[in-house]
Amino acid sequence: MLTAGEVAGLIVAVFWAILVCFLAMVLIKAARLLTETAKMVSELGERVVPLMEEVSATVTETNRQLVAVEAIATDVKRVSGDMARVSGVASTLIAGPLIKISALGHGVRAAAAARSANGANGANGATAVRGGRTGQRRLPR
């Protein structure tokens, strides 16, 4: 039979063999993982180069479009300034005479009202005053 030391040595040898097998499996899986990682990195490198070329072309086209947009924005700014000036000139040309015509119309209406009031109240001596009020004497100017 086996002595206690031999049984202990046998148990240690079996556990050692199990440990070595377990570590061998771990190392094999780690090697597969590293192989797959290397393969993915090389595929990624093959895909990144065309993507970077496309990104570079896109950025170049975007910069070209931004130059065009900047030119358009400058033109719009200039045109809006011109429109503001034209609007001011049109306002000056139209508003001034329009105000004068309105004032003339108001004056004619007030004169007509004063005349009609003067004709109706002529017997009692009351005359229309400037502004269309009746019943007061007109002050000399």
pLDDT of 119 strictly over 90: no
CA angle 102, 107, 108 (to 5 degrees): 100
What is the radius of gyration, based on Cα positions, of the chain? 52
CA angle 28, 31, 35 (to 5 degrees): 140
82-107 per-position pLDDT tens digit: 999 998 888 888 888 888 899 999 99
Say what the pLDDT of residue 126 is. Answer: 47
CB contact set of 110 (below 8 Å; sequence gap of 6+): 130, 131, 132
The pTM score is 0.41
CB contact set of 128 (below 8 Å; sequence gap of 6+): 113, 114, 115, 117, 118, 121, 134, 138
